[in-house]
Amino acid sequence: MLVSASDSVAAALGGALDGLALRQRVAADNIANMDTPNFTAATVDFESSLRAALADGDVTGAELNPATALSAATPGVNGNNVDLATETMTATQSTFQYQLLTRAVGDRYSLITTAIGHM
């Protein structure tokens, strides 16, 4: 877990960062294999388990497992089903989401710094 603070907001932020990092990695892998014959693209879903954990009120548990699934897109003639446009959009979108989250994490630390009175 990225954020060591034990409250659920920090845990949710950390879980989302982990999920986005995995999604970025999987998108990079898909793009790396855009010309590999018989390669099947993968997708990542971390929102479902995160949403369920937030609904349960226990984000700190170990059930925050991002799920990786194989893409069901129709493969081309070489058996490869990577869609470069989709992967690029996924990568760009999760980059912005990641930057938003790191900003949120930084702001939480700013709150703590303010609370302890700028030592």
Partner 1 sequence: MGAFDMLGIAHSSLTTHQTWLDTLSHNIANASTARPTDQAAFQAQFVMAEAQDAGGVRVSGLALGDPEGRMVHQPDHPLADENGYVRMPDIDMGAQMSQLIMAQRGFQAQTSVIRNAQDVYSSALSIGRNA
Question: Which residues contact partner 1 by CB under 8 A?
Answer: 17, 21-22, 24-25, 27-29, 31-37, 39, 84, 88, 91-92, 95, 98-99, 102, 105-106, 109-110, 112-113
Is the Cβ of residue 49 or residue 102 nearer to partner 1 in the bound state?
Answer: 102
Beta bridge partners, 43, equal: 69
Report yes or no: 26 and 43 within 8 Å, Cβ to Cβ. Answer: yes
The span from the CA of 8 to the CA of 30, in Å, is 33
- CB of 12 vs partner 1, minimal distance in Å: 15
- Compute the least distance from the CB of residue 81 to partner 1, in Å: 13
In angstroms, the first-to-last Cα distance of the chain is 27
